[in-house]
């Protein structure tokens, strides 16, 4: 059994630190993350058909997810501030009660954009929750996960591959 690699955000004494990426080459980095919003039976269809009093659920959630991805370094203390070249947030009905939120992020940088994609998906899903909570109790945000990443020395990675 091999030892797992050391945690990169801890120094030799175990203190938290921001990783020095200055020696890494700038490469195109991309990541896609997903969050799921699960609604009580029949509620998602009603929301998609009739909308909610606060406005377009997906429209507002898309803007929230993009804005959150752009501010990841302010939210997650040891992440690097990255020059994002693209953030996209999309929605898909996974089954009659599940709205899947995906966030993709891209940058030409020395470190990956996984956290930006994860934060974007999570905040977009939380915004859906906020906009819909008055219509139904029991809405759940679940399964916030990285789906894939490319770029960097680690090469491409895909969940389940």
pLDDT of 143: 95
* CATH numbers and ranges of domains, the chain: 27-151 (3.30.70.640)
Give strand pairing partners of 149.
Answer: 31, 157
Annotated catalytic residue 49: no
58 pLDDT more than 70: yes
pTM value > 0.75: yes
Distances (CA, A) of 91 to 15, 98, 112, 146: 39, 10, 23, 16
End-to-end CA distance of the chain: 21
Please tell me which residue in 11, 20, 95, 130 is annotated as part of the active site. 130
Average pLDDT over residues 68-73: 98
């Amino acid at each position: 059994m091999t030892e797992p690699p050391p945690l990169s955000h801890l120094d030799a004494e175990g203190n938290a630190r921001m990783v020095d990426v200055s020696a890494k080459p700038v490469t195109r980095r991309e990541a896609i993350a997903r969050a799921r919003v699960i609604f009580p039976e029949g509620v998602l269809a009603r929301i998609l058909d009739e909308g909610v009093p606060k406005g377009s659920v997906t429209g507002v959630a898309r803007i929230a997810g993009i804005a959150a991805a752009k501010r990841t370094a302010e939210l997650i203390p040891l992440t690097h501030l990255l020059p994002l070249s693209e953030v996209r947030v999309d929605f898909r009905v996974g089954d009659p009660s599940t709205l899947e939120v995906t966030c993709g992020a891209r940058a030409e940088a020395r470190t990956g954009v996984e956290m930006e994609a994860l934060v974007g998906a999570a905040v977009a899903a939380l915004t859906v929750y906020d906009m819909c909570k008055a219509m139904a109790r029991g809405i759940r945000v679940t399964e916030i996960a990285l789906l894939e990443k490319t770029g960097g020395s680690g090469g491409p990675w895909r969940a389940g591959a």
